[in-house]
Structure 1
Amino acid sequence: MNNFYGAPFNADHDHVFLGVGHEKNERKTWAVIALCTAMMLVEIIGGNLFGSLALVADGLHMSTHAGAMLIAALAYTYARKHANDRRFVFGTGKLGDLAGFTSAIILAMIALLIGYEAVSRFLSPVPIHFSEAIPIAVVGLAVNIASAWLLSGADHGHDHGHSHGHSHGHADGGEHDDHDEEMQRVVTPDGVFQLSIFEDGVPPVFRFVPEGTSQLLSPGEVTVTTIRADGSRQVFSFMQKADFLESTSEIPEPHGFQVVVGTPSGEQTVEFAEHDHDHGVDSRDHNMRAAYIHVIADAAVSVMAIVGLLLAQAFGWLWMDPLAGIVGALVIANWSYGLIRQTGAILVDASADARIEGKIKAVIDDVGDQLVDLHVWRLGPGHLGAVVSVTTREPKRTPQFYHQHLAQFKGLSHLTVEVHPGVEV
């Protein structure tokens, strides 16, 4: 067995890996539960008072709606209250994914029940009481719209893109995004140019674009030299792409360095700083997504039910009602399947993102060491855990050295480094 030493950067760090909008989403979910519960009571009490079985049935359906929201709300509350409980080795950030997975299973069961009922009605049509069914469907749609409005202000999170001060223009076209904070201007006697780091769908490369009336220089007239903090240099040559120049080799991570731009009239120096970013860390709140999908799915079914009922009433097409049910079941099943795949992968610690794994490897390669083993997994919305095993011939390199170099990846909330000194692999 190889000798190694390794440790987290700070043994006293916390293990709170909740999403940024956790408490806000919790409040929103409880508000939707209150709305659904109130509507459920009104329908059940009103149905009993006025002798409407359909109204009572819809009130009971609303109770299942509130129950599904309750799963999400309890997950939020429990995760928040036990966020610092040391029994949870990697925090409670995954409780939201567990709740999302559970809700997705419930959605799948609802889709099956709707599909079964629709097929049954195709085979054995039943009389429809349009005067009751249509208003109830409209009320149900109104509740779902109100619920969706409440949840729309919640933080669903997203999959962050790369923002290093890069220009994200078109891959081979002549148009370029003009964001001052995403590029550096190079003013020379030869003209004014924009130097940017481009990586939208391609490995990161430099792009050199004339600004305004400035003329495009030939590839042989431009060079870019990066100077990193450790003094290492790399020279980039260019080739022409439409109305801009692009470097012929990609830029290794990290993207914080001083740049010397050479043109026929001399050299200019600019800086590219490594801003706070999370390199594509998935910050989606699957608990909130599941709650939102449940509401939207219910609203979609209500819309299709209303359309089916109106057509059935107007033209006597009784088959339109079960057909709408089947379409609704297929839509819900599709959303459920996608959510099950996403949350299920997280729960079994599937690799979080190949991109960030590649970037970690690039950092280790850049300092001249060898990556022996790497594990990256999701701890919660916007939080990743990683175990990095490195072989180095530099005896003074401790785990802290690699923590400092990997600190640029803000989504790495829990990082453990193993260092194998002087071992050939």
Structure 2
Amino acid sequence: MIDNDDGAAAAFHSHFFLGEGHETSERKTWAVIWLCGFMMIAEIIGGLLFGSIALVADGLHMSTHAGALLLAALAYTYARRHANNPAFTFGTGKLGDLAGFTSAIVLAMIALLIGYESINRIFDPVAIHFAEAIPIACLGLAVNIASAWLLSGSEHHGHGHGHAHEGHDHDEQHEIATASGRVVLEIFEDRVPPRFRLSAISGAALDAQASSIETVRPDGTRQFFAMADRGGFLESHDEIPEPHAFTARLRIGEKNYPVVFEEHEHAHGSAARDNNMRAAVMHVIADAAVSVLVIIGLLLARAFGWLWMDPLAGIIGSFVIASWSYGLIRDTGAILLDMNPDNRMANRLRQEVEADGDTLADLHLWRLGPGHLGAIVSVVTGRERDADYYRARLARFKSLSHLTIEISRKP
């Protein structure tokens, strides 16, 4: 028998799978477009009025920069306006990835054009008007720095964005009122193995010999943790095994204080990244990097007569941009093809389903939008369990925004 059940409430659940801070990122992108558009018009008009073809050329270059950012802004706006459109079966969360993929292709083309033009100039040098070229390059760098500043603060565009705890969002810090004062108990695992840390807030005098922790897990398993003085706080000698879901009985002196720790699984890495903002930032950083290289090349060329430094800077810049473009194409292409976005979470889903004797026959995990995952879980069980049972077991996986449970009964 097969019980294909997405839950009664699931039939009416939202398909709003946009990333956190979507509207903020949209506003910032439009602000950068206005800045680039203003500079573009000013440079073109100024170049025509003062007879500077270099200024006009930089203005036209700025138009390509603004066009790439316009693609990102339109994707944000369209995704927001159509987020609840039933025509999009799984929402509009992937529009940002589609825009990011397109921007990556544009970046690759820009890298090829810069490389081609730079190689041509090595074999066929042209006269460089340093008095105009250097200030224009500095102006372009200033605009890119301002653009990067406007886009900064969005937490979903980093090249390696991920949670410090590898996808976990623990209920980590607990403030406890003890007989001797207030203390904080936490699980600390920032780039180190997870251990308990106990710190005094006010009044409490902590003694490692008089303090200890015992964890009691839902299945009754207990573990004792002795504490060591680390100067300013106490830390457990032993590491805390996964999962971090248990009641921790803190003993200070002769008194015990129970503290409940809950663990939630969140998407991390590429599953949580906003690739639309990442693409916008890449365009700004790529332009800034080229501006820096151009300025260095021009200064050396003027100081020492090394005219080959200018095209060499262009070649280096083209390789840097091509590298960033490749990474963006790889990541966004994987999402658009519905590749598994988070192998760690897939393994944890399997462990959770099979922890009580059932078998995970099939698992499909894909990304719906930044921080939102969809999953189809096919379970083979010999017990009388329905979809709600497995839905409750998987409730701690907070990034599973769309979950379908399929149950097959053993004979």
Which TM-score band applies after superposition, normalised by the shorter structure?
0.7 to 0.9
Counterpart residue number, 1:21: 21
Distance 1:89 1:309, change over 3 A: same
Is 2:399 the partner of 1:411?
yes
Q: Which runs of 5+ in 1 are unaligned?
A: 167-181
Deviation at 1:241, TM superposition (A): 9.6
Matched, 1:334 2:323: yes
Per-residue deviation at 1:184? 7.7
Letter in 2 for 1:273: F
Q: 1:227 touches 1:258 (CA, 8 Å); kept in 2?
A: yes
Matches for 1:177-196 after TM superposition, within 5 Å? 182=173
State which of 162, 174, 196 in structure 2 corresponds to 1:159: 162
SS in 1 for 2:91: coil
Shift of 1:360: 1.9
Which residue identity lines up with residue 156 of structure 1 in the other structure?
H
Question: Does structure 1 conserve the Cα–Cα contact (< 8 Å) formed by 2:267 and 2:371?
Answer: no
Q: What is the aligned counterpart of 1:234 among 221, 241, 257?
A: 221
Give TM-score scaled by structure 1 length: 0.81
SS in 2 for 1:92: coil
Structure 2 unaligned segments of length 5 or more: list them. Answer: none
Contact 1:186 / 1:195 at 8 angstroms: preserved in 2? no
Aligned counterparts, 1:29-48, within 5 A? 29-48=29-48
Task: Describe how 1:194-209 pairs up with structure 2 within 5 A.
Answer: 197=187, 207=196
- The C-alpha deviation readout for 1:190-234, integer Å capped at 9, x for no partner, is xx9987546566886x6587989866569xx97834142xxx311
Match for residue 251 of structure 1 among 238, 242, 250: 242
- Provide, for residues 225-283 of structure 1, a one-character-per-residue CA deviation record: whole Å limited to 9, x for no partner: 4142xxx3112356999976555883346x1x3244689x8783522232666253743
Residue deviations 1:138-157 (CA, integer Å, cap 9, x gap): 22122212221221144535
- Contact between 2:209 and 2:227, CA under 8 Å: does it hold in 1? no
Q: Which residue identity is paired with 2:216? A: T
CA contact (8 A) 1:43 1:56 kept: yes
Could you tell me whether the CA contact under 8 Å between 1:258 and 1:269 is conserved in 2? no
TM-score (norm 2): 0.84
1:223 and 1:261 in contact (8 A); partners too: yes
2:373 aligned residue: 384
Amino acid at match of 1:31: A
Q: Does 1:374 align with 2:401?
A: no
Aligned residue pair count: 395
Identify if the C-alpha distance between structure 1 residues 119 and 239 changes in structure 2 by more than 3 Å, giving closer, same or farther: farther
**1:400 pairs with 2:376:** no
Q: Report if aligned partners of 1:29, 1:69 keep a CA contact under 8 Å in 2.
A: yes
- How far apart are 1:358 and its partner, in Å? 2.4
User: Is the 1:25–1:155 Cα contact (8 Å) retained in structure 2?
Assistant: no
**Distance between the aligned counterparts of 2:32 and 2:239, measured in 1?**
54
Q: 1:14 to 1:195 in 2, by over 3 A?
A: closer
CA distance in 1, matches of 2:314, 2:68: 20
1:77 Cα offset (Å) = 1.3
Match for residue 179 of structure 1? Answer: none
Match of 2:345 in 1: 356
Match of 2:123 in 1: 123
C-alpha contact 1:16 1:84 (8 A) present in aligned 2: yes
Structure 1 contact 371–389 (Cα < 8 Å) conserved: yes
Between the aligned partners of 2:345 and 2:225, the Cα distance in structure 1 is 27
Assess if the C-alpha contact under 8 Å between 2:250 and 2:259 holds in 1.
no
Residue 420 of structure 1 aligns to a residue whose secondary structure is strand
Match of 1:296 in 2: 285
